[in-house]
């Protein structure tokens, strides 16, 4: 009809909307651009179309993410970069695993859309807009899920086509007797299915609107709203798809499969000879079952086990099984596979189509992605469907309705179900006939040839003549009366129910809600749905924090999904709940306990007198190791402590208080522990293979080893552990702001030590130096409240406090429980070596993944690797930082050059610990000589390295005119720093002091203007002149070095630049030290 595109203007005159006919039209002169996200399932159809058009000599470009560059180059099309894929491979895998395992397909569609498709939209738009706007194509073909591409063509007003694997979901355009997109319903729907079928697309359109509003795109009620005016290439055909009325813009083109793949004889010959030989064989097997579950679906181990067992029953006819899957999913397969199984890694070069065309393939087990299912059907192969996500349940339902396959439920199926359904598909020839019939219908739709014709006609004539006025069907054709009857019944029932409730309230049978009861109900409501103090236990919250600590890049939204799957919750915690948990991570870390009550409680109720509570708990732990304790003894000690702390009369030491106290600290039985006879035989210890599953569930025996223990016994025990699972921990004291002059005053040394501020630092490292845990610091100052919530990973250390900065049994056991929790989460069993110290009491402590060795006193200090040089290396690096700071302050003219805030000192502690070379650590483990893997003499060059570091320390002392005055070994191993453990008869009555100045934020970086002023200022130190310009003086050189070093140290480099920055800083500090030595040699200071 030549007038099909003509519209009439009622105001007078007519406007011709039909496209102008171009008799000289040449497809080869047109520029065609394909756009797709860099996900293989979306790019494959467009790549095949592009390759065909390139062979025809067309001007073709293909825009996708950089991960798809190689795919595009194989087609011969021009690659246009859309930037890197904005989601890392690890995060994408985690998201797809969660979607695959989700039983709700509605939720899976939303998560796929919100977590994968939406995040790619804006980066793709930003990358392509400048390129496409400079050289706009004549036509764009966009994948349906590439939202950034749709936004691009809308903004630039480009003509475009949309490629979709299935017919778009719609509101008002699809009859209710046709299953809606995403429901997975069969054509034979029940009444309930028809009710849900009407609601599903409407709920989906509402749920998909917010992300579009965030991207400032127009919200839409259906996909037709989004693609209105665009021609849609649907990669299916009637035969597999249900017949229905469609808009002229929707073209059913059939599967996009290369034409040469239909030549079966050529396909057989094209397979590699070894593959053909294995598939045909002469061993009497009946053929090949081909298993391919795609690259986006992640199968679980139980599902893989059921498939393997179902296909390898010895009582059934034997078939060869070829299973292709991505490399990262091989771990889900059973380790022992039957001899008839072959596993192939999925790749872009794998001859998938030629394999399907082979006559020996009798059955395909597929995830039923539209492309994968159609590829099996066009070659007449029946399908055992195992759909996982998005549109896969829809495709599976259509395959079953067409009589070409059967389906398994991903949430629960057994090996016997797999066996029975596979046998039905193999023995009943009707399935193969139906598959061939559906395949013939799909091939007849035209495929790539049809797409080429549509592209040409769109370029020549446009799409205006195909656009209908309205895509909606009359309401009586869209809905059914029985569905409306159900809705009416539900509405009437709710009205009646509300009416009855109203009558009961009026008659007084139900008490009206008061403000007080409303608050209670609100709290219960929040608890019921997991908000605030909801259904997560303290142990579960601690494990969430551990997951966040081990996976720092995980988002809070993903953490919510992980918690739901890990703890089998009815629904995921909300994001505010997750944020609140992470904010109070320190509370859950400090509350780790071994008692069953501790693990199941849901709240942490802080005690009113926390210092008193910890002091009493510490007293119980100390005496529990020596004498029998009764409840009355604890009450009596509580009264004594409360009187000494000024709390007399504020606590009632009742039986209820005692019960709460014991439950709070996990005290089960308070009798003196009985030492098992196994303790007297160090070789009869219950050894656990750390690599076995039993290591994760067998309780570890914690005991003090006998005095006759030798390094030989320890060496035999360490043979059962890998080097990375052998740890040692030791505490050391640190006068963190002491002046070196104090060490020169030998007569008053004890007086100086008594006045100095001290920190106790616990250092932990494993035998191969691969894990140097964050320093655990004990101080005597309360940290600010807002500072306490910072994680150890962010700060670089853990910090606790008491009145004397000493390690106590209470603090040590909390640290040990936290270490055990970390190893339990990582599924590791470790060996921990510690000194025999007053605070190292471990009897009665229940640990599952940490085994302890307590060195007896007879082994001496050198048995501990820390005492062989690790602690000295750490202190040497800390002292260098402190002295460099003092030299800086001296050059600036400060009075108290050694003064330093505690927060600065703790940051130096973290940095100094990280700077201890791994070679030094391993060398000290060699010296200890009880790790079987380390034998021979210590490495000499490591000791030379440490000697060089000590020389640098001496040089700094020389710069302060202290060279030769201070004994370096006394500076690094002062006896006054060794008092770090609370003694049995020592009482801590005082609370930690409050000194907020100690935790003020550091600001060492000078401003640019100040830096320029420092460098160019005049200080009276004469300089020379060259060519009329003054040379920088020595003081100006030092000021400039100090400014640059401070700026670099306070910067936050990228991880890739961290190593280079460290090398630059090391070079600058060497130069700075040389200048300081030069000045010190010509300057006299008065001590």
pLDDT in tens, 45-103: 999 999 999 998 999 999 999 999 999 999 999 999 999 999 988 898 889 888 988 88
Total number of domains in the chain: 5
Residues 815 and 953 in one domain: yes
Q: Is 190 left (phi over 0), alpha (psi -120 to 50) or beta?
A: beta
**Residues paired with 944 in a beta bridge:** none
1059 domain residue, yes or no: yes
Which of 172-181, 677-686, 949-958 has the least mean pLDDT? 677-686
951/213: higher pLDDT: 951
Residues 712 and 841 in one domain: yes
Paired sense of beta strands 1025-1026 and 1029-1030, if any: antiparallel
751/141: higher pLDDT: 141
820/1053: higher pLDDT: 820
**Residues paired with 728 in a beta bridge:** 765, 833
Residues 400 and 267 in one domain: yes
Going from the C-alpha of 1003 to that of each of 119, 358, 896, 1006, 1072, the distances in angstroms are 37, 72, 18, 8, 21
pLDDT band of 9, cuts 50, 70, 90: very low
62 domain residue, yes or no: no
* pLDDT mean over 873-898: 88
Q: How many CA atoms lie within 13 A of 563 on its CB side?
A: 29
Residues 651 and 777 in one domain: no
Does the predicted model carry a pTM greater than 0.85?
no
205 domain residue, yes or no: no
* pLDDT mean over 1044-1053: 71
983/786: higher pLDDT: 983
Q: Which of 672, 697, 732 is the last residue of a domain?
A: 672
Give Cα 409 to chain centroid, integer Å: 28
| Domain that includes residue 300, residue range | 262-439
* pLDDT mean over 328-347: 85
pLDDT band of 1079, cuts 50, 70, 90: low
Which of 403-417, 523-537, 639-653 has the least mean pLDDT? 523-537
Residues 571 and 607 in one domain: no
CB count within 10 Å of CB 189 equals 17
pLDDT of residue 214: 66
3-state class (DSSP) for residue 884: helix
Residues 536 and 634 in one domain: no
pLDDT of residue 763: 96
pLDDT of residue 231: 86
Query: C-alpha angle 694/700/702, rounded to 5°?
Result: 170
Residues 858 and 890 in one domain: yes
> Residue 935 pLDDT more than 80?
no
Q: What is the mean pLDDT of the chain?
A: 78
pLDDT band of 219, cuts 50, 70, 90: low
1061 domain residue, yes or no: yes
Q: How far apart are the first and last CA of the chain?
A: 107
pLDDT of residue 410: 92
The whole-angstrom separation of Cα 305 and Cα 649 is 66
User: Both tokens of residue 213?
Assistant: 């509003």
Give the sign of the dihedral formed by CA 228, CA 231, CA 237, CA 240.
Answer: negative
Question: Which residues make Cβ contacts (< 8 Å) with residue 1082, sequence separation at least 6?
Answer: none
pLDDT of residue 742: 80
Residues 536 and 606 in one domain: no
Question: Which residues make Cβ contacts (< 8 Å) with residue 334, sequence separation at least 6?
Answer: 301, 304, 305, 308
Question: Which residues make Cβ contacts (< 8 Å) with residue 392, sequence separation at least 6?
Answer: 297, 367, 368, 369
Residues 834 and 931 in one domain: yes
Q: What is the CATH number of the domain that holds 297?
A: 3.40.50.2000
Q: Which of 637, 672, 707 is the last residue of a domain?
A: 672
Helices 1034-1049 and 870-892 sit at what angle, rounded to 10 degrees? 130
91 domain residue, yes or no: no
The whole-angstrom separation of Cα 101 and Cα 94 is 11
Measured in residues, the chain has a length of 1087
Dump the DSSP string for 100-116: HH-S-HHHHHHHHIIII
The whole-angstrom separation of Cα 337 and Cα 349 is 25
pLDDT tens-digit profile of 404-449? 999 999 998 999 999 999 999 999 999 999 999 999 999 999 999 9
* pLDDT mean over 360-377: 92
The whole-angstrom separation of Cα 1084 and Cα 852 is 54
> Residue 594 pLDDT more than 60?
no
> Residue 693 pLDDT more than 80?
no
3-state class (DSSP) for residue 351: coil
Which of 126-135, 146-155, 674-683, 797-806 has the least mean pLDDT? 674-683
Give the sign of the dihedral formed by CA 579, CA 580, CA 583, CA 589.
Answer: negative
C-beta separation of 898 from 739 below 8 A:
yes
Residues 558 and 594 in one domain: no
* pLDDT mean over 390-410: 94
* pLDDT mean over 939-948: 72
Alpha helix segments (H runs only) across 666-748: 711-718, 741-744
As a dihedral over the C-alpha atoms of residue 436, residue 438, residue 444, residue 450, rounded to 10 degrees, the angle is -120
Residues 277 and 417 in one domain: yes
Alpha helix segments (H runs only) across 723-780: 741-744, 749-755
Going from the C-alpha of 310 to that of each of 303, 341, 368, 653, the distances in angstroms are 11, 12, 19, 65
pLDDT of residue 1025: 42
Question: Which residues make Cβ contacts (< 8 Å) with residue 496, sequence separation at least 6?
Answer: none
pLDDT of residue 523: 47
* pLDDT mean over 928-938: 74
* pLDDT mean over 139-147: 93
> Residue 682 pLDDT more than 80?
no
pLDDT of residue 280: 79
> Residue 979 pLDDT more than 90?
no
285 domain residue, yes or no: yes
706/152: higher pLDDT: 152
* pLDDT mean over 556-577: 86
33 domain residue, yes or no: no
> Residue 902 pLDDT more than 60?
yes
Residues 525 and 638 in one domain: no
pLDDT of residue 1006: 36
Which of 329-333, 461-465, 718-722 has the least mean pLDDT? 461-465
């Amino acid at each position: 009809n030549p007038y099909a595109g003509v519209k009439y203007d009622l105001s007078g005159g007519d406007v011709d909307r039909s496209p102008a006919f171009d008799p000289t039209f040449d497809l080869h002169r047109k520029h065609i651009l394909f756009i797709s996200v860099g996900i293989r399932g979306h790019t494959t159809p467009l790549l095949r179309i592009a390759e065909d058009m390139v062979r025809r000599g067309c001007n073709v470009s293909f825009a996708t993410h950089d991960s798809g560059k190689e795919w595009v180059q194989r087609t011969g099309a021009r690659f246009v970069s859309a930037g890197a894929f904005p989601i890392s491979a690890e995060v994408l895998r985690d998201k797809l695993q969660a979607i695959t395992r989700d039983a709700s397909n509605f939720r899976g569609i939303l998560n796929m859309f919100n977590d994968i498709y939406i995040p790619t939209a804006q980066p793709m738009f930003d990358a392509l807009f400048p390129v496409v706007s400079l050289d706009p194509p004549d036509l764009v073909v966009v994948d349906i899920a590439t939202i950034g591409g749709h936004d691009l063509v809308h903004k630039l007003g480009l003509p475009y086509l949309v490629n979709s694997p299935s017919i778009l979901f719609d509101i008002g355009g699809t009859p209710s007797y046709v299953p809606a997109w995403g429901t997975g319903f069969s054509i034979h729907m029940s009444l309930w299915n028809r009710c849900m079928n009407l609601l599903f697309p409407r709920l989906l359109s509402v749920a998909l609107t917010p992300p579009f509003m965030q991207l400032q795109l127009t919200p839409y009620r259906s996909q037709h709203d989004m693609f209105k005016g665009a021609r849609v290439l649907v990669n299916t055909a009637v035969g597999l798809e249900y017949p229905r009325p469609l808009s002229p813009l929707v073209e059913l083109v059939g599967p996009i499969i290369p034409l040469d793949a239909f030549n079966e004889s050529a396909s057989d010959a094209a397979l590699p000879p070894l593959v053909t030989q294995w598939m045909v064989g002469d061993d009497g097997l009946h053929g090949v079952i081909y298993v391919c579950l795609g690259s986006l679906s992640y199968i679980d181990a139980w599902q893989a086990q059921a498939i393997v067992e179902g296909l390898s029953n010895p009582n059934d006819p034997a078939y060869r099984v070829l299973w292709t899957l991505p490399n990262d999913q091989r771990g889900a397969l059973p380790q022992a596979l039957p001899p008839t199984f072959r596993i192939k890694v999925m790749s872009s070069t794998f001859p998938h189509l030629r394999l399907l065309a082979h006559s020996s393939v009798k059955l395909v087990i597929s995830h039923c992605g539209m492309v994968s299912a159609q590829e099996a059907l066009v070659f007449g192969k029946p399908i055992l469907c195992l759909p996982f996500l998005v549109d896969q349940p829809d495709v599976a339902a259509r395959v079953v309705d067409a009589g070409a396959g059967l389906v398994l439920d991903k949430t629960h199926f057994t090996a016997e179900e797999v066996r029975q359904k596979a046998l039905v598909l193999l023995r009943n020839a009707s399935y193969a006939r139906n598959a061939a019939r559906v395949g013939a219908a799909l091939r007849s739709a035209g495929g790539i040839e049809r797409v080429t014709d549509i592209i040409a006609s769109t370029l020549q004539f446009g799409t205006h003549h195909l656009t209908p006025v309205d895509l909606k069907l009359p309401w009586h054709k869209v809905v059914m009366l029985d569905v409306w009857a159900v809705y009416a019944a539900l509405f009437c029932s709710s009205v009646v129910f509300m009416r009855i409730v109203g009558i009961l309230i009026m008659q007084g049978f139900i008490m009206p809600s008061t403000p007080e009861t409303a608050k209670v109900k609100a709290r219960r409501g929040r608890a019921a749905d997991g908000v605030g103090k909801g259904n997560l236990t303290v142990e579960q919250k601690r494990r969430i924090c551990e997951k966040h600590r081990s996976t720092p890049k995980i988002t809070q939204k993903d953490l919510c999904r992980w918690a739901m799957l890990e703890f089998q919750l009815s629904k995921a915690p909300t994001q505010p709940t997750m944020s609140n948990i992470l904010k109070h991570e320190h509370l859950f870390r400090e509350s780790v306990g071994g008692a069953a009550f501790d693990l199941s409680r849901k709240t942490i109720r802080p005690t009113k007198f926390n210092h008193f509570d910890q002091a009493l708990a510490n007293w119980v732990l100390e005496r529990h190791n020596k004498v029998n304790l009764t409840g009355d003894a604890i009450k009596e000690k509580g009264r004594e402590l409360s009187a000494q702390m000024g709390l007399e009369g504020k606590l009632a030491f009742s039986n209820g208080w005692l019960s709460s106290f014991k439950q709070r600290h996990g005290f089960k039985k308070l009798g003196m522990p009985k030492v098992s006879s196994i303790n007297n035989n160090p070789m009869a210890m219950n050894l656990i293979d750390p690599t076995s599953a039993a290591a994760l569930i067998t309780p570890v025996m914690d005991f003090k080893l006998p005095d006759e223990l030798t390094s030989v016994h320890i060496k035999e025990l360490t043979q059962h552990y890998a080097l990375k699972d052998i740890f040692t921990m030791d505490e050391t004291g640190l006068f963190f702001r002491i002046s070196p002059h104090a060490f020169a005053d030998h007569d008053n040394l004890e007086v100086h030590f008594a006045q100095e501020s001290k920190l106790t630092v616990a250092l932990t490292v494993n035998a191969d130096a691969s894990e140097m845990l964050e320093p655990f610091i004990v101080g005597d100052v309360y940290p600010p409240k807002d500072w306490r919530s910072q994680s150890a990973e962010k700060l670089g250390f853990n910090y606790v406090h008491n009145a004397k900065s000493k390690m106590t049994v209470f603090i040590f056991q909390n640290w040990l429980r936290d270490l055990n929790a970390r190893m339990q989460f990582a599924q590791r069993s470790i060996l921990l070596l510690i000194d025999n110290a007053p605070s190292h009491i471990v009897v009665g402590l229940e640990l599952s993944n940490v085994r302890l060795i307590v060195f007896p006193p007879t082994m001496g200090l050198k048995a501990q690797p820390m005492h062989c040089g690790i602690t000295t290396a750490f202190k040497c690096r800390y002292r260098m930082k402190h002295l460099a700071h003092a030299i800086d302050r001296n050059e600036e003219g400060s009075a108290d050059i050694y003064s330093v805030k505690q927060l600065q000192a703790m940051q130096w502690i973290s940095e100094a610990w990280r700077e201890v070379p791994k070679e030094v650590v391993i060398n000290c483990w060699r010296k200890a000589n009880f790790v079987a893997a380390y034998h021979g003499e210590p490495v000499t060059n490591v000791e030379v390295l440490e000697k060089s570091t000590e020389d640098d320390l001496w040089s700094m002392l020389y710069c302060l005119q202290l060279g030769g005055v201070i004994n370096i070994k006394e500076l690094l191993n002062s006896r006054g720093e060794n008092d770090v453990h609370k003694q049995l008869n020592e009482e801590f009555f005082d609370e930690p002091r409050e000194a907020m100045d100690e935790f003020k934020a550091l600001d060492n970086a000078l401003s640019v203007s100040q830096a320029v002023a420092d460098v160019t200022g005049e200080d009276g130190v004469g300089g020379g002149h060259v060519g009329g310009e003054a040379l920088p003086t020595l003081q100006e050189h030092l000021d400039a070095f100090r400014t640059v070093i401070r700026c670099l140290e306070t910067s936050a480099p990228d991880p890739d630049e961290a190593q280079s920055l460290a090398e630059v800083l090391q070079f600058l500090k060497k130069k700075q030290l040389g200048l300081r030595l030069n000045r010190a040699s010509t300057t006299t200071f008065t001590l």
